[in-house]
Amino acid sequence: MHIDQWIDSVPPTAVYALVGLIIGFESLGIPLPGEIALVAASMLAVSGTVNPWGVAICAILGAVVGDSIGYSIGRKGGKQLFDKLGRKFPRHFGPDHLETAERSFEKWGMWAVFFGRFIALLRIFAGPLAGALRMPYWKFLIANVLGGVIWAGGTTLLVYQVGKVAEKWLSSFAWIGLVVALVVGAFSAWLFKRRAAKARAEHPETSGGRSGTPMEPVRD
């Protein structure tokens, strides 16, 4: 079962906790599909199952708290922590991934934490790597909070608003779709019959042998 189907199957009150935990663990450094969970919960808000503001707040808290815990773990474990993780989980923490993340931090500094919130690879690395590279916590915290609010809150509200507009449009114009489907179906049936009649007129010999020379028996 995919993460979006799983979220859709749990009780509405548990959706908030699940979204916060999944995003929190992902921000901490565990490779989980936080973005998919956030979009799935936002779509549930479109249907009225959950409150979009509740989803946004829980997602923001999960992002900020998870990144902060990841920062503490990275600061305590240092770069040796990533060497161990790279040997155990090369698919997610391999040398190439770590090198890409380090280059981003060297180029952007604290803003790598902010922009990392919008990139799947950096979203896992941002907190722990910022701690391992000894980034000042106040810089990390500013970028962490800004990134969490804009990414988690913005994604929730964007998906919710787009979903509401689409839902309203579809409900308002569903009858047009039905009429169009009926017209297209009737036209297709008429066109098919017209072409079949034309083919029979042009090739009467293929119409069951009713005209033309009589069929001769097959000789040995």
Compute the distance between CA of residue 81 and CA of residue 73 in angstroms, rounded to an integer: 9
Task: Examine residue 215 and state whether it is found in any structural domain, yes or no.
Answer: no
Q: Which residue, of 131, 148, 171, is where some domain finishes? A: 171
Q: Which amino acid is at 80?
A: Q
Q: State whether 127 and 183 are in the same domain.
A: no
Q: Is the pLDDT of residue 79 over 80?
A: no
Per DSSP, 207 falls in state S
Please report the sign of the dihedral spanned by the C-alpha atoms of residue 78, residue 25, residue 55, residue 105.
positive
Cβ proximity of 132 and 149 under 8 Å: no
Neighbours of 157 (CB within 10 A): 16
Give the range of the structural domain holding residue 184, as residue numbers without chain letter: 174-203
- Among 4-13, 27-36, 128-137, the minimum mean pLDDT is found in 4-13
Compute the distance between CA of residue 102 and CA of residue 3 in angstroms, rounded to an integer: 30
Q: Is the pLDDT of residue 45 over 90?
A: no
Compute the distance between CA of residue 164 and CA of residue 180 in angstroms, rounded to an integer: 24
Q: Is the pLDDT of residue 208 over 70?
A: no
Q: What pLDDT is recorded for position 6?
A: 61
pLDDT in tens, 177-206: 445 545 655 665 565 566 666 666 665 655
Average pLDDT rounded to a whole number, residues 140-157: 92
Expressed in percent and rounded to 5, the helix, strand and coil fractions of the chain are: 80, 0, 20
Residues in the chain: 220
Cβ proximity of 10 and 18 under 8 Å: yes
Q: State whether 58 and 46 are in the same domain.
A: yes
Count: domains in the chain: 2
Q: State whether 152 and 179 are in the same domain.
A: no
Neighbours of 164 (CB within 10 A): 13
Q: Is the pLDDT of residue 218 over 60?
A: no
Q: Is the pLDDT of residue 125 over 90?
A: no
Number of alpha carbons in the 13 Å side-chain half-sphere of residue 105: 24
Q: Is the pLDDT of residue 28 over 60?
A: yes
| pTM for the model | 0.68
Q: State whether 159 and 199 are in the same domain.
A: no
Both tokens assigned to 177: 């779709």
Q: What is the mean pLDDT of the chain?
A: 75
Higher pLDDT pick, 69 / 204: 69
